[in-house]
Amino acid sequence: MSRSTTQRRGYHHGDLRAELVREGIALLAETGVAGFSVAKVAIRAGVSSAAPYRHFPDREALLAACAAGIIAEITGLLAEAAEEAGPDPVDRLAATAGAYTRYVLDHRAGIDLVYAHDFTGPHHLAVQEQSRRLTDTLMDLASAVLPDDTSWAEIADFVYVHLSTTHGYAVLLLKGARPPQDADGHAARAVTAARDHISGHLVRLRDRSMPS
């Protein structure tokens, strides 16, 4: 056993679970779900192939923990982007599109990991909790943009369109629609597109409320 491997295993003592999740997220960024395995994560973490099973009973459990970690990271980045955008509600919500696009380009994974797998059962409460936190964050930001009398269902629909449009844009970039190297430019364009969508939606709501 090499000195570096020995040192890494000593480092992991007591914190192996968190390190496996970090390495799992990194592996997903490189290979996607198709190339994800417990053995590969163990190799990246510098531990034996049996070590991860002390914390995760199977591949699905480790994948779920990675999904929860990804959603938690995204939620934190969206909240941070909104805060940095300033006090204007439209700017705050639009900023989340840029942060999400940048995350997907950097990590090659996003909310699709959650929706591509059945994480609805009682064994995946962490994924469900992080998904709720993400939804709540966007719902709060959207509520500040939309009229006070907007129903919860209408806000949810608006958030769904906002997030799915942003995700679709990021995925198209990953698929080669545009050179992915210009991450800053793509993120800025995502913000502009989101701001246009939000502003257009508000205009439609205003026109709809005006007497004919």
Q: Can you list the domains of the chain with their CATH numbers?
A: 1-56 (1.10.10), 60-209 (1.10.357.10)
Predicted local distance difference test score (pLDDT) of residue 160: 94
Predicted local distance difference test score (pLDDT) of residue 174: 84
Residues 20-31 pLDDT 10s: 999 999 999 888
Q: Is the pLDDT of residue 33 over 90?
A: no
Nearest to 51 by CA among 10, 6, 20: 20
Residues 138-176 pLDDT 10s: 999 999 999 999 999 999 999 999 999 999 999 899 888
Q: What is the 3-state secondary structure (H, E, C) of 108-155?
A: CCCCHHHHCCCCCCHHHHHHHHHHHHHHHHHHHHHHHHCCCCCCHHHH
Question: Is residue 58 classed as helix, strand or coil in its secondary structure?
Answer: coil
